[in-house]
Amino acid sequence: MTTHHELQAGSVLAPQTNQTSITQVFRYSAATWNTHRIHYDKEYALKEGYPDVLVQSHLHGAFLTKYCTEWAGREARLADLSLRVRRFATAGESLTVQGTVREVRPGDEGRAWLDLELVETRDSDGEVCVEGTATLDVPLTWLAEGALS
């Protein structure tokens, strides 16, 4: 995987796995005032045709945000994040996020923009749950020589 000092278009970033749980999903619903029963009531989720309590779309987004900010650290800034949930995930599943640098663009005064492609997969079957993009403002010192060419 790529370190900060080797970044260029095509660089693959280290993956990050998030282990979900029923408790986490319930707490996230409470914290975000999400009262949809599919996120905390298994019997109701079953009646709706789901196999178990579902991970919220916004929690998927939180995992992508966490991935970007923990990977980038304090020297960078997450400027933009967008995502599309493609498949559901149930509480208790492990979800892995991985990023790839799509483009490197010049920024202001010793900075650059990194455009990332993000994918979150269910570890149980490798299915893509979320696809997204992010833009980070990073130090030029992170880039491989010629990355801005």
Q: What confidence tens digit (pLDDT) does each residue in 30-89 have?
A: 999 999 999 999 999 999 999 999 999 999 999 999 999 999 999 999 999 999 999 999
In a domain, 39, yes or no: no
% of the chain with per-residue pLDDT over 90: 89
Cα–Cα distance for residue pair 20/122, rounded to 1 Å: 11
Per-residue pLDDT, 1: 54
- C-alpha angle 87/92/96, rounded to 5°? 55
Average the pLDDT over 99-111 and give the result: 95
CB neighbour list of residue 48: distance below 8 Å, 6 or more residues apart = 38
Q: Are 113 and 136 in contact (CB under 8 A)?
A: yes
When comparing pLDDT for 149 and 69, which is higher? Answer: 69
In a domain, 40, yes or no: no
In a domain, 125, yes or no: yes
In a domain, 78, yes or no: yes
Q: What is the pTM assigned to this prediction? A: 0.92
In a domain, 51, yes or no: no
In a domain, 46, yes or no: no
In a domain, 47, yes or no: no
- C-alpha angle 82/10/116, rounded to 5°? 15
Q: Which two tokens stand for residue 121?
A: 């997969």
Q: Is the pLDDT of residue 149 over 90?
A: no
In a domain, 45, yes or no: no
Q: Which two tokens stand for residue 93?
A: 């599943």
Domain of 8?
A: 4-20+56-142
Per-residue pLDDT, 6: 78
User: What residues pair up with 114 in beta bridges, in sequence order?
Assistant: 104, 136
Cα–Cα distance for residue pair 137/22, rounded to 1 Å: 35
State the CATH number of the domain containing residue 92. 3.10.129.10
Q: Are 37 and 45 in contact (CB under 8 A)?
A: yes
Q: Are strands 16-19 and 111-122 parallel, antiparallel or unpaired?
A: unpaired
Average pLDDT, whole number, for the chain?
A: 94
Domain total in the chain: 1
Per-residue pLDDT, 3: 53
